[in-house]
A and B are shown apart, each in its own frame.
Chain A
Amino acid sequence: MTDTQWQVYEVFHQQARGEAHVHVGCVHAPDAEMALLMAKEQYARRQACVNLWVVPVSAITATKYEDDDMFERATDKSYRESWGYKTPKTTHAGSGQDGDVHL
């Protein structure tokens, strides 16, 4: 059977200027403009939003889950973890809020 579905666009939502765009889900759409129209009602109608991105899923290159052992730490690398100092919460100045690094 042929796939009659429109292509999938991943949707990224930005709650306030300067905040990171956060992946919130996906929509089916025939093109990027329609994807934005659909994304607006699916993902921005219940929460604050200042900007949306849509990305065709075909544009994403991902690692394979079968390779997820490469992310494991064979030796103690806690020295790489960032904590104990303050960094801006946002990627750009603007929110005025500082917080600990979340990664």
Chain B
Amino acid sequence: MNRFETAKDLPAMVRPAVVDLLFRMADDELIIGHRNSEWTGHAPILEEDIAFSSMAQDEMGHARAYYEMLHELGEADPDTLAFGRKPRQYRCASLVSLPKGDWAFSVVRQFLYDTSESVRLAALSESTFVPLAQLARKLRGEEKYHLMHGRSWVARLGSATEESRKRMQTALATCYPHALGLFEPTEADEPVAQYGIGLRERELKAQWESAVVPGLQAGGLSVADNVLPVYGGRVGRHPAALTELLDGMQLVYNIDPTAKW
């Protein structure tokens, strides 16, 4: 299969699909990073406060890298993409928009999300779009830690006390339909697969499910059969929580979008 060394080498047929894919990944990272940063100063213990905040920064760093790649592909600069768009222009899945909930909710969400990210990055490491393959390989190290972190918390809280188990199971039941929405099929699926940019969403979802189940089982947690996915995020239909989040996140930026920092 042809390899595309730079953004300029991408054929016009696949370009919009790559842009769409990058917006989905970038927006997921930005919004979950912001949500997780809401734990800064509030996490259950000091060490975890620092660890979770640091991981939130990692996610925002990943978002920045994807926005920079989008800029290479002709989109606006990273700050404008992160802060200068309306809610309907974001392409994040509903999972990342939901309020941070209790600690169990944020832990379960992070675990489900990080597992999807690791599956996605593994596939993109083999991408025919060389800059994306290089970036994916670079991000996998941080992602490895995020996944270890998530698995450890899920295994422990899932089986610690009756209350922790109940909270984890409740969080899982709430999160799972939204986590399935991470793999909402889009029009980009076929071009992305045909040009070897990445895998189809349904293929990623299958890999994700086989990675998620053992992690949940380690905590004695289970998912009901035939859960219906929550779709819409990939086409700009979001829960109201995203608008509230963006109102806060964009507040300072919107006072003077041209300000130099």
Contacts and interface: CB of A to CB of B under 8 A. Distances in A.
- A and B interact: yes
Given A28-B45, A29-B47, A42-B50, A37 B156 contact: no
Interface in B134-155: 145, 148-149, 152
Binding site secondary structure of chain B = helix
B89 interface: no
A88 interface: no
Interface residues of B, number: 13
B258 to A, nearest CB: 33
B56 to A, nearest CB: 11
A30 interface: yes
B54 interface: yes
Interface string A37-67: 1101110010000000000000000000000
B247 interface: no
A41 B50 contact: yes
Contacts of B152: 33-34, 37
Interface in A1-41: 6, 27-30, 33-34, 37-38, 40-41
B156 A42 contact: no
A45 B47 CA distance: 13
Contact of B51 (A28, A30, A33, A37): A37
A40 B145 contact: yes
Contacts of A45: 54
A27 B51 CA distance: 12
B22 to A, nearest CB: 27
B48 interface: yes
A45 to B, nearest CB: 6
Given A34-B152, A37-B149, A40-B51, 13 more contacts: A28-B45, A28-B46, A28-B47, A30-B156, A33-B152, A37-B51, A37-B145, A38-B47, A38-B51, A41-B47, A41-B54, A42-B50, A45-B54
16 contacts: A6-B45, A27-B47, A28-B46, A28-B47, A30-B156, A33-B152, A34-B152, A37-B145, A38-B47, A38-B48, A40-B51, A40-B145, A41-B47, A41-B54, A41-B55, A45-B54
